[in-house]
Chain A
């Protein structure tokens, strides 16, 4: 449903996975899945290019994990097909079981085998008969894999429970990489880690996968993680993919209001759109590719609204939240001149409370009037949404 909207927009930077479906590694077509009477996936289409990184992001219960499990081969789709490298592996009467798909899988908690050492875990998928040199070759390969994920080879003798959460995730990644899969599935692998470790682990994992040239699909509910990790972001909501595109596009030009609000803070205002100019409490703001005319909802990211001494818009600070590096400021907007002059119901607005961010806490105290300026374009959504 969103493919046309992304296609007609000129892309600021075109990610390989968005650009072409000709070289697609994974192709998911019209896949549905029900658990009992509950429809979990309601027709999903997704194409992932070879070597690309795709993040499937959505709130919990949106069906993203189910989609990943279908790709891995842990579940059968009810309808639709899944193909890898052009070969159908599920649907249309075809079925390739999980252990034959050559897909790596890293679960949320790592799913390390508790009865095996780290080394035995990593070696689990290796076939000593096929490796030249037998056991010694296995040990060498394990050490190589552990090094690849920046773990000391001495760790091979430890048990999984002796490792920290981040180390367990790295071992799980090494274990999945052992079979040199072409496609790697990551099911919220960083969500159990604490904030600092999460970023570091995510970076390390992304680096390893990029160097190995493995096509990667990451499932996450964390939009920041999705935007920073992937070159293609697929937003999932209610069992469907609401939007697929590169991170910049889905963040700055979301397809609908729910997507906009899911991907980050959004300022939403009623506006009147004529041509490509929307008039609202923040004045006249250009809109690219207006979807409708007349009454619309206008979406801006808070960072597009700047505090500037010469800004044409005025608002009174309601309250603030201090976070250290930045301060969240809630402002009540004054009624703009245009709206005040045209006592016309066509121009909505005036008096809305919006939330913006600023680095300097001292310039925003409750009751102060601030001047604002809007940077860049807004996105308009039809009112009927």
Chain B
């Protein structure tokens, strides 16, 4: 699962290969071996699911999969996706179009506000809605909460693409006799295809992977059912089979996305500076548009913020017990820092190969990473639980395993940033430094590493903040007695101590705000590539 908004690696933005340099800073083979090891490691969750399915045996597996309970979960999941994905697409595109293509008043503020709901973790959103309407539950509320939480996953790439779209395309359409509306549907919307399929994939993967938000409103999906199974039987065959079905769905989504993405070229053709975007006057629609956006952001961002603050005021000073609060904050920071550092270190060889040595080898590494990025947190966590108990018992519930799971879950975020950063540091610069008398390693450090540093820092920040909000894998893998903001929030709100949970919710939102802004900024840069 990932919130990587530029969507998984697809069009490798590689510099034209002018062949290979003779002696890269660390021999190619060393980087390649490292990358292969990382790729193998990243396939652990998939391997676990495949192994478990085989080990369970055909008859048992069929028995466990073909039962009414699975049918019920299947129906829930399918209905949830069938309703939420189109709703997210509709809201996301409408918002993006209003902000980027009309003379909407206050569009700069709206542009940020529409991305803001991403700063509220879905399970915090759920908590706020349950606070507002305690009777919430079932499919309807699942659709409501997940739509409000996830529509920015469509909005952000759609807005980024629209802002980078060459207005000359629309002008050509106008010259060919299309009115503004027809031009939008026949010319602009097809250009959004990559952004929309990518956004839809992310929404789908989030729906499959989300645990907290649905558990809070007692809506059963595969992920919540696996968690329940895990709680009752620890590591049973039934839970494993549910995980297989879940993974199957994730892979199905990936393939659907690859197919619907198509092969057409959407990059801008030709050179020269792009003109300014056309903006449609809204006239009489200005009012309704403002009302629509107001309602949307109020429900998706205002309401959760309001209820969190309300619980904090209601709880008063009692809820800020430093003895509970500080350890959770410190643990979150610790895991976040270690996890972010490890993720960047692991991502670097992959990014290096993808940018500097494009070819079938780096493509297949990317593919393995692409598949891993779709694995829900619960599956990654189960895989590590199983591996650490059965193969290396000593490491079960150690920080190392938890960090390894974080690395797998958030590798794509770091990769996207590192790739962009490395693309800013073409090997020609390295060579220029060598021609100026710097030995290869020094040239690499002073030029390539130096130029990649900002991107690496950005990637590390994203990973850090994602870890701060991670719930599912942390619940399963964190060392005994360790509490993070997310798990502490979860245990308090599960005990219906809504006031006690509020400070943790507020902190997570505050921590996520810069992440959301970073993602928003990053998407604008990546969209043009």
- Do A and B associate with each other? yes
Q: For the complex formed, measure the closest distance between the CB of A330 and the CB atoms of chain B, giving whole angstroms.
A: 31
**Cα-based distance from A179 to B434 in the complex (angstroms):** 12
Q: When the two chains form their complex, are residues A75 and B22 in contact, meaning their CB atoms are under 8 A apart? A: yes
Contacts of A74 in B (CB 8 A): 21-22, 431, 434
Q: When the two chains form their complex, are residues B436 and A69 in contact, meaning their CB atoms are under 8 A apart? A: no
Interface stretch, picked from B42-50, B191-199, B245-253, B437-445, is B437-445
A56-68 CB mask vs B (1 if < 8 Å, else 0) is 0000000001100
Q: When the two chains form their complex, are residues A175 and B436 in contact, meaning their CB atoms are under 8 A apart? A: yes
The verdict on A107 contacting B21 (CB below 8 Å), with A99-B438, A124-B436 known, is no
Q: When the two chains form their complex, are residues B443 and A99 in contact, meaning their CB atoms are under 8 A apart? A: yes
Contacts of B106 in A (CB 8 A): none
Q: For the complex formed, measure the closest distance between the CB of B30 and the CB atoms of chain A, giving whole angstroms.
A: 18
A131-166 CB mask vs B (1 if < 8 Å, else 0) is 000000000000000000000000000000000000
A283-325 CB mask vs B (1 if < 8 Å, else 0) is 0000000000000000000000000000000000000000000
Check: A103 CB closer than 8 A to any chain B CB. yes
Contacting A115 at CB < 8 Å: which of B21, B426, B436, B450? Answer: B450
Q: When the two chains form their complex, are residues A124 and B18 in contact, meaning their CB atoms are under 8 A apart? A: no
Q: When the two chains form their complex, are residues B19 and A98 in contact, meaning their CB atoms are under 8 A apart? A: no
Check: B23 CB closer than 8 A to any chain A CB. yes
Contacts of A127 in B (CB 8 A): 437
Contacts of B451 in A (CB 8 A): 113-115
Number of interface residues of A (CB under 8 A): 32
Contacts of B23 in A (CB 8 A): 97
**Cα-based distance from A65 to B443 in the complex (angstroms):** 22
Q: When the two chains form their complex, are residues A99 and B440 in contact, meaning their CB atoms are under 8 A apart? A: yes
Contacts of A35 in B (CB 8 A): 19-20
Contacts of A76 in B (CB 8 A): 22
Contacts of A107 in B (CB 8 A): 428, 431-432
Check: B433 CB closer than 8 A to any chain A CB. yes
- Categorize the interface residue count of chain B: 20 to 34
Contacting A113 at CB < 8 Å: which of B20, B22, B429, B440? Answer: B429
Q: When the two chains form their complex, are residues A97 and B439 in contact, meaning their CB atoms are under 8 A apart? A: yes
Q: When the two chains form their complex, are residues A179 and B431 in contact, meaning their CB atoms are under 8 A apart? A: no
The verdict on A98 contacting B428 (CB below 8 Å), with A74-B22, A113-B447 known, is no
B1-41 CB mask vs A (1 if < 8 Å, else 0) is 00000000000000000111111000000000000000000
Check: B235 CB closer than 8 A to any chain A CB. no
Contacts of A99 in B (CB 8 A): 434-440, 443
Check: B529 CB closer than 8 A to any chain A CB. no
**Cα-based distance from A111 to B447 in the complex (angstroms):** 11
The verdict on A125 contacting B436 (CB below 8 Å), with A35-B19, A97-B23, A111-B428 known, is yes
Q: When the two chains form their complex, are residues A124 and B433 in contact, meaning their CB atoms are under 8 A apart? A: yes
Check: B424 CB closer than 8 A to any chain A CB. yes
Whose C-beta in chain B lies nearest to the C-beta of A35? B19
**Cα-based distance from A104 to B437 in the complex (angstroms):** 9
Q: For the complex formed, measure the closest distance between the CB of B452 and the CB atoms of chain A, giving whole angstroms.
A: 10
Q: For the complex formed, measure the closest distance between the CB of B442 and the CB atoms of chain A, giving whole angstroms.
A: 8
Interface centre among B424, B429, B436, B451 (most CB of A within 10 A): B436
**Cα-based distance from A75 to B24 in the complex (angstroms):** 11
Interface centre among B22, B433, B435 (most CB of A within 10 A): B435
Q: When the two chains form their complex, are residues A111 and B429 in contact, meaning their CB atoms are under 8 A apart? A: yes
Q: When the two chains form their complex, are residues A111 and B432 in contact, meaning their CB atoms are under 8 A apart? A: yes
For residues 78 through 103 of chain A, which have their beta carbon under 8 Å from a beta carbon of chain B?
Answer: 97-101, 103
Whose C-beta in chain A lies nearest to the C-beta of B426? A111
**Cα-based distance from A108 to B23 in the complex (angstroms):** 22
Q: For the complex formed, measure the closest distance between the CB of A325 and the CB atoms of chain B, giving whole angstroms.
A: 28
**Cα-based distance from A235 to B61 in the complex (angstroms):** 70
Q: When the two chains form their complex, are residues B436 and A176 in contact, meaning their CB atoms are under 8 A apart? A: yes
Check: A267 CB closer than 8 A to any chain B CB. no
Q: When the two chains form their complex, are residues A125 and B434 in contact, meaning their CB atoms are under 8 A apart? A: no
Q: When the two chains form their complex, are residues B18 and A65 in contact, meaning their CB atoms are under 8 A apart? A: yes
Contacts of B437 in A (CB 8 A): 99-100, 125, 127, 179
Contacts of A40 in B (CB 8 A): 19
Q: For the complex formed, measure the closest distance between the CB of B252 and the CB atoms of chain A, giving whole angstroms.
A: 36
Q: When the two chains form their complex, are residues A104 and B19 in contact, meaning their CB atoms are under 8 A apart? A: no
Q: When the two chains form their complex, are residues B438 and A75 in contact, meaning their CB atoms are under 8 A apart? A: no
Whose C-beta in chain A lies nearest to the C-beta of B442? A99
Q: For the complex formed, measure the closest distance between the CB of B27 and the CB atoms of chain A, giving whole angstroms.
A: 14
Check: A218 CB closer than 8 A to any chain B CB. no
Contacts of A97 in B (CB 8 A): 23, 434, 439-440
Q: When the two chains form their complex, are residues A98 and B434 in contact, meaning their CB atoms are under 8 A apart? A: yes
Contacting B18 at CB < 8 Å: which of A69, A72, A104, A114? Answer: A69
**Cα-based distance from A29 to B220 in the complex (angstroms):** 74
Whose C-beta in chain A lies nearest to the C-beta of B432? A111
Q: For the complex formed, measure the closest distance between the CB of B361 and the CB atoms of chain A, giving whole angstroms.
A: 13
Check: A251 CB closer than 8 A to any chain B CB. no
Q: For the complex formed, measure the closest distance between the CB of B458 and the CB atoms of chain A, giving whole angstroms.
A: 15
Contacts of B433 in A (CB 8 A): 113, 124
Contacts of B443 in A (CB 8 A): 99
The verdict on A66 contacting B19 (CB below 8 Å), with A99-B439, A99-B440, A114-B424 known, is yes
Q: When the two chains form their complex, are residues A105 and B432 in contact, meaning their CB atoms are under 8 A apart? A: yes
Whose C-beta in chain B lies nearest to the C-beta of A109? B428
Whose C-beta in chain B lies nearest to the C-beta of A101? B435
Contacts of B19 in A (CB 8 A): 35, 40, 66, 69, 75
Whose C-beta in chain A lies nearest to the C-beta of B434? A98
Q: For the complex formed, measure the closest distance between the CB of A15 and the CB atoms of chain B, giving whole angstroms.
A: 27
**Cα-based distance from A115 to B451 in the complex (angstroms):** 7
**Cα-based distance from A98 to B447 in the complex (angstroms):** 16
**Cα-based distance from A220 to B121 in the complex (angstroms):** 56
Whose C-beta in chain B lies nearest to the C-beta of A76? B22
5 smallest beta-carbon distances between A and B, as pairs: A125-B436, A105-B435, A98-B434, A111-B432, A111-B428
Extra 17 A-B pairs, beta carbons < 8 Å, given A66-B18, A124-B436: A40-B19, A69-B19, A72-B431, A73-B434, A75-B19, A75-B21, A75-B22, A97-B23, A97-B439, A99-B435, A99-B443, A104-B435, A107-B428, A114-B424, A114-B451, A124-B433, A172-B432
Chain A residues proximal to chain B, CB less than 8 Å: 35, 40, 65-66, 69, 72-76, 97-101, 103-105, 107, 109, 111, 113-115, 124-125, 127, 172, 175-176, 178-179
Provide a sorted-by-A list of 23 A–B residue pairs whose CB atoms are within 8 angstroms.
A35-B20, A69-B19, A72-B431, A72-B435, A73-B434, A74-B431, A75-B21, A97-B23, A99-B437, A103-B435, A105-B431, A105-B435, A107-B431, A111-B426, A111-B428, A111-B429, A111-B432, A113-B433, A114-B424, A124-B438, A127-B437, A175-B436, A178-B436
